[in-house]
Structure 1
Amino acid sequence: MSAPSGAPGGPAAPEQLGVPVPGGELSVLRWPATVPGAPTVVAVHGITANGLAWFEVARRLGGRATLLAPDLRGRGDSRDLGGPYGLARHADDVAALITGLGLGPTVVVGHSMGAWVTALAAVRHPDLVSRVVLVDGAVTFPLPEGVSEHDALAAVLGPALARLSMTFPDRQAYREFWQRHPAFSADWSDEIDAYTQRDLVGDEPELHSSCVLAAVETDGSQVLLDREAATAVHRLPCPGELIRAERGLLDEPQGLYDEKRLAAVGLDHTHPVPVSAVPDTNHYSILWGRAGAEAVVRALLGTASTGPADG
């Protein structure tokens, strides 16, 4: 095992391992626990992210749990792990990770698209998931009247697809691209820099994102349109909770979720899923900022279960 390129140095630098899944190996980052008998948590990233997105949660766990963060197939160091893609495939990969490492029933946390994957993993593999923590994701809303599926997909995937089609002459150009992002600019750090740089592959002057376009297109469409994924949060076979950001993907005042919208889809009525908001966070800072990461850590440490592969 070795620290991946682009990982932050010091005690928070993760190890890297490969876990067999259908079609090859899933790359997994591992921040080991330092406390005897500590729990293990599996953390699932968003649609164009990679496992290093969990750096701040790992830091604030401080060795009180082992954190395993896979690069989903078609992303990061799992980019060469081919299809079929889709949320159910990722959920089954999470199950293969839990089984392959001998973890037993495990707490799984997911951010953004990873929250849908997390809920699906619990539904499809109830014997392997003991609890879920959903971070600003997993709840699907009906399309507004007059909005077509094509328009909705374009609105959701447009910015991501634009980035995936771009090339960059050097690493500094990619850094400047992300520093202009309205949700990142105020909170830029060496760790965010390392996370974004880990996404960059290829050779100068044509560096590009590690994300496979077909994977993002397939997964993005299922977030909006796949019935199994949309209903998973309403069918959880285990305890779970949703932690939501107050603001949106581009730091706009309206977040993905609010009390009124969640009530409209009957989340609490169909399956009790406690919901809490983290003040002054957006869709990204809820994972990387202090307040958001601490909220996630509190949820994980309050409910995680121990397993034979901990530490």
Structure 2
Amino acid sequence: MDGAMTETLTHYRTLDVPVEGGDMRVGLWGPDAGPAVLLIHGVTASHLSWPFVAERLPGVRVIAPDLRGRGRSNGLTGPAGLAAHARDLADVMDALEVERAVVVGHSMGAFVALVFGDLHPDRVDGIVLVDGGLPLDLPAGISADEAIRTVLGPTADRLALRFASVESYREFWRAHPAFARDWTPELEAYLAYDLVGEEPELRPSTSYATLEEDSIDQNTGTAIVDALAHLRRPTVLLTAERGLLDQVPALYDAERVPELLTRYPGLGHVAVEDVNHYTIAMSPRGADVIASVVRERLPAR
């Protein structure tokens, strides 16, 4: 498929949508009507996590917000937490006059997807959890800050760093093992978009305070427990073969997945080979699987 045809199919643009506390930046691909998919990014990411998935869904209305505290939604005021994100997403769907969508969440976005599906089941055609959404295997009694360090490690530490230029930020990421085989123009655009401020004091856009608030809710709140107890809509979990640092075991160890599937009957599962926690969404081979699963859940046209 040549570049001109890809651009025609995806038709990328952005829109600012009023939500509680300000405007939420929303990335859009595809037509302005028809079957819709709502893509929810991870804990320190943005809507530009999703171009590979969007281009594999021609003819589908793709909606991908920057969650509050991230990207160009980092100026929103008010509390965060999973229910707050779900409320924001409902407001976005209202503003775009979208009644229902297949809801896809990556990493923390998968937890948001579950809560959205629990609070707004009539707006969901199906839920796709991409390497997230189910309880993580953390030590009992761990504090919120310890949980952040255990799960995110250098990802959380990065938020305190400052960068002299966009290129220095890209060089910082070039050393990251997750993208050793998957350095792409799409990734470079994602990284440039992540920065806010002015040279030589550029910084990642994610608010650590919001990340901490979300992590506390994700790991100790009741919203996820309630959502998993209900699973009101068909839900499938996609798991990556490797973790955040391209390591084994992955975030959801293959040996632990059968126990999770037993605990949550009705939950489907797809193991995605040759990807890590990042590249399950941000590589062509990972996006192939996500798009295929989404297409199976889209309503008939």
TM-score in same-fold range (> 0.5): yes
Is residue 147 of structure 2 the alignment partner of residue 152 of structure 1? yes
1:287 pairs with 2:285: no
Residues 58, 23 of structure 1: alpha-carbon distance in 2 compared, 3 angstrom cutoff: same
Q: Quick one: distance in 1 between partners of 2:137 and 2:274?
A: 27
SS at match of 1:127: helix
Contact 1:19 1:26 in 2 (8 A): yes
Aligned to 2:79, what secondary structure does the other structure show? Answer: coil
Distance 1:271 1:96, change over 3 A: farther
**Conserved in 1, the CA contact under 8 Å of 2:45 and 2:194?**
yes
Q: Note closer, same or farther for the CA distance 1:146–1:15 as it changes in structure 2 (3 Å cut).
A: closer
Give the RMSD, CA atoms, in angstroms: 2.2
Q: CA deviation at 1:269?
A: 4.4
Matched, 1:190 2:185: yes
- Distance change (3 Å), C-alpha of 1:10 and 1:188: farther
The amino acid that maps onto 1:257 is: Y
Q: Does 1:247 align with 2:237?
A: no
Question: 1:111-166, CA deviations, whole angstroms, 9 ceiling, x for partnerless residues?
Answer: 00000000100001112122111100000045335755553332224423311111
Aligned residue runs from structure 1 range 126-141, under 5 A: 126-141=121-136
Kindly indicate whether the alpha-carbon contact (under 8 Å) linking 1:236 and 1:271 is maintained by their aligned counterparts in 2.
no
Match of 1:48 in 2: 44
1:186 aligns to what SS in structure 2?
coil
Q: How many residues align?
A: 296
Match of 1:200 in 2: 195
The higher relative CO (CA closer than 8 Å, separation ≥ 6) is in 1
Structure 2 unaligned segments of length 5 or more: list them.
Answer: 1-5
Query: TM-score, normalised to structure 1's length?
Result: 0.88
Say yes or no: does 1:303 pair with 2:301. Answer: no
Q: Which residue of 2 aligns with 1:215?
A: 210
Give yes or no for contact 1:153–1:224 (8 Å, CA) kept in 2: no
Give the Cα separation in 1 of the matches to 2:143 and 2:26. 37
Provide Cα deviations, 1:217-260, integer angstroms capped at 9, x if missing partner: 11122222223224423421111111110110110021111443
User: SS at 1:248's partner residue?
Assistant: coil
> After the TM superposition, which of the residue ranges 64-73 and 97-106 deviates more from structure 2?
97-106
Q: Which amino acid aligns with 1:118?
A: A
Q: 1:13 to 1:253 in 2, by over 3 A?
A: farther
- Quick one: percent identity of the two aligned structures? 41
- Which residue number in structure 1 is paired with residue 164 of structure 2? 169
After TM superposition, give the deviation of residue 88 of structure 1 in Å. 1.2
